[in-house]
Amino acid sequence: MAIFARRLTVLDSGLMVSPVLYETTWNIRRLAQKYRPTLEEISSRRDEKELELRSGNISFEVMHDYTTLNSLLDEEKRDVELFLELYGRGVGDDELFCLISDKVNLLLENQRIDILETYLNKIGERFCSSAAELEGEVHFPGKYSSDREIEHL
pLDDT tens per residue, range 54-73: 888 888 788 888 888 888 88
- As a whole number, the mean pLDDT across the chain is 72
CB atoms within 10 A of CB 3: 10
Entry pTM? 0.60
CA 128 – CA 134 distance, rounded (Å)? 10
Cα 4 from Cα 37, distance rounded (Å): 9
pLDDT in tens, 99-144: 676 677 777 787 877 777 777 777 666 666 666 666 666 666 666 5
More confidently predicted of 153 and 81: 81
The closest alpha carbon to 106, from 82, 72, 73, belongs to 82
Residue 148 has pLDDT above 70, yes or no: no
Residue 120 counted as domain residue? no
The percent of the chain in helix, strand and coil, each rounded to the nearest 5, is 80, 0, 20
> How many domains does the structure of the chain reveal?
1
| Structural domain contains residue 121 | no
- The domain in which residue 22 lies consists of 2-91
Per-residue confidence at 49, pLDDT binned at 50, 70, 90?
very high
